[in-house]
Structure 1
């Protein structure tokens, strides 16, 4: 089984991006654990054009059965398992190429939204067992993270791949090494679900607002 996990380069004047740091820590854990699946990691640019294009190339090159894209949610206090990707870009700040599109679709004539095909509730349970704070989120924003999530889900719609997006907090809330423990749980759960070794859970994780 081929597994692809991506993080992002720094943006907004930051020196680092904790999403990429967490993915690098995940790669080290994966090797140390001796997992049988082949893990490929990659860093994506924080640009509306470059991130989907690079992701598309990676999908074509590696034909992964599991894909987890990881981004930074600096204000969050939990690792967020994203449920919904919206077909809209509304940039509050420019991307790293200086573009700031407003109210544009990610994919012209695409559906309004795509849902994650990761086993979110099983992954939620698995991350909880690690002790890392985690939640299911119903919005991935309207910036490059959401655009990447939507492009991923659109590209793999109708396939049997397990694919989705996870936001990790800044290092002040959850250090990258701890976030990597959560990511490892998500990826292992997705791989086991794809292989038919586990089933999705029925587990309440909704919100009232």
Structure 2
């Protein structure tokens, strides 16, 4: 049985929960199709230890597909990240108090890595299911981008990983009440969305060539 590794983060920034972990932990152990099983891992919202734990999970589970999830408060949809950049530039400290500024994720690594997920096919599948989704051109420069870049760096050296990438998701409704008029998405819709993401990955050999860019 092949494995799909899903990861989510601890709460950060004063939040009591993190939608990325809330959805990921509820999918642990589920079968996708006849040949893939989901395994879930929780990452700390910390620059240093997040990659250590991710690398340990990659070694332990030897997944063929890896999708890391993170919270993007204020975004209204499922955001398929296109590119991870080799820079940490934190506007606030992580959960361990670290606040790197203009430092590389991986010293000597390439400037960027592209997601190997079929991001445009996934967006189309989510739209067909009535779920808001889009291609995102930036994963930021905080711990989410740090993990995304670290994942793709590891994946480039691991033959077992066929597809890997990062997805940002909105607040849960119970979080949004503390952020006036902020977009959110119910947990059941998030679960449905991630399952459709995985189904789309398994059935898509080559991504769609359709517009998904941005003007700013």
Measure how far apart 1:35 and its partner are: 5.3
**Structure-to-structure mapping, 1:20-59, within 5 angstroms:** 20-27=21-28, 30=30, 36-59=35-58
**Structure-to-structure mapping, 1:115-130, within 5 angstroms:** 115-130=114-129
Determine if contact 2:88/2:101 at 8 Å carries over to the other structure. Answer: yes
Structure 1 position 204 matched with structure 2 position 211: yes
Distance 1:57 1:24 in 2: 18
User: How many residues end up aligned between the 2 structures?
Assistant: 203
Give me the TM-score of the superposition, normalised by structure 2: 0.89
Please tell me the root mean square deviation across aligned C-alpha atoms, in Å: 1.6
Determine if contact 1:51/1:148 at 8 Å carries over to the other structure. Answer: yes
Partner of 1:11: 12
Determine if contact 2:84/2:139 at 8 Å carries over to the other structure. Answer: yes
Partner of 2:92: 93
**Structure-to-structure mapping, 1:1-209, within 5 angstroms:** 1-27=2-28, 30=30, 36-157=35-156, 159=159, 161-172=162-173, 173-193=184-204, 198-209=205-216
**Cα gap change, 1:188/1:98 in structure 2, threshold over 3 Å: closer, same or farther?**
same
Distance 2:206 2:106 in 1: 31
Write out per-residue CA displacement over residues 143-165 of structure 1, whole angstroms, 9 at most, x where no aligned residue.
Answer: 00000000000111164510000
Determine if contact 1:91/1:100 at 8 Å carries over to the other structure. Answer: yes
Q: Which runs of 5+ in 1 are unaligned?
A: none
Determine if contact 2:27/2:38 at 8 Å carries over to the other structure. Answer: no
Higher relative contact order at CA 8 Å, sep ≥6: structure 1 or structure 2?
1
Determine if contact 1:66/1:191 at 8 Å carries over to the other structure. Answer: no
Determine if contact 1:52/1:151 at 8 Å carries over to the other structure. Answer: yes
Give me the TM-score of the superposition, normalised by structure 1: 0.91
Measure how far apart 1:12 and its partner are: 1.2
Partner of 2:179: none
Q: Which runs of 5+ in 2 are unaligned?
A: 174-183
Distance 2:128 2:24 in 1: 20
Measure how far apart 1:171 and its partner are: 1.4
